[in-house]
Homo-oligomer: A and B are copies of this chain.
C-alpha cells in the first residue's frame, strides 16, 4: 500500500461533484468555497489532489468530453449523413436537458466570456467546440465519398450549421427551454435537411 495517511475521499467522486458545480455556475462563477463544500473536502485537500482551480476544471472537462464522445461516436457511426445529424441533435437535446445534471453544455457555458484570468479556459473550450464540428465535417466528407451527399455540398458550412444549432440549443437549455422544445427545434432542422 502507498505510504502515509490514506486519502479520506474518492477523487473520482469528488471530481464528479466539481463537474456539477462547474456546469451550473461556469468556471468563473464557481468559487473554491462552493467547490470544496460540494466535494465534501477542505481547500488543502483540493489543491493536493487536483493542483489548482484551473487544473480541477480541466480534469472535470476531460470527463465531460469523454461522456460526450461516447454518444458522439455512436451517432457518427450511423449509416447516412441524415441519420448521423439527427442522432447527434437528438442526443444533444437529451443531454442538455438531462434532469440528473444542470441544464446546458459545459463547452458553451463554462467560460463563453470572462475576465483575463479565465482566458486560457475560454480558449480551451473554444477548441473543444471546434473539435466536435471538425469530427462532423469529416463524417460528412465521408458521406460525399460514399455518394450519400452530392459532391457539390458545402460540408464545412453544413457541419458549422449543425454545430451552430447544437450550441444554440445549449443556450436555449441554459434558459427556459424544455426537452420537448429542443426536439421541436430538431424537427425543424430535419424537415429542411439537407436543403
- The verdict on A14 contacting chain B, using a C-beta distance below 8 Å, is no
> A29 touching B114 by the CB < 8 A rule?
yes
A23, A28, A164, most chain B CB atoms within 10 A? A164
> Is A166 located at the chain interface by the 8 A CB criterion?
yes
Q: What is the distance, in angstroms, from A124's C-beta to the closest C-beta of chain B? A: 11
| A168 close to B (CB within 8 Å) | yes
- B161–A115 CB distance below 8 A: no
Structural contact, A189 and B187, CB atoms closer than 8 A: no
Contacts of A189 in B (CB 8 A): 161, 192
Report chain B residues within 8 Å CB of A176.
126, 130
Interface size on A, as a range, is 35 or more
Given A113-B24, A114-B25, A115-B25, also A171-B174 (CB < 8 A): no
Are A185 and B160 in contact, with the CB atoms below 8 A? yes
Copy number in the complex reads 2
**Is A72 part of the binding interface, using a Cβ–Cβ cutoff of 8 Å?**
no
Closest CB in chain B relative to A23 CB, distance in Å: 8
Q: Given A130-B176, A171-B168, do A26 and B161 touch, yes or no (CB 8 Å)?
A: no
Q: Which residues of B contact A168 (CB under 8 A)?
A: 163-169, 171
A158: interface (CB < 8 Å):
yes
Interface residues of A in 144-195 (CB under 8 A from B): 154, 156-158, 160-161, 163-172, 174-177, 181, 184-185, 187-195
By a beta-carbon cutoff of 8 Å, the part of chain A in contact with chain B is 23-26, 28-31, 104, 108-110, 112-115, 118, 126, 129-130, 154, 156-158, 160-161, 163-172, 174-177, 181, 184-185, 187-195
Other A-B pairs, 8, CB within 8 Å; known A28-B114, A161-B188? A126-B175, A130-B176, A154-B187, A160-B172, A165-B165, A167-B171, A170-B171, A191-B192
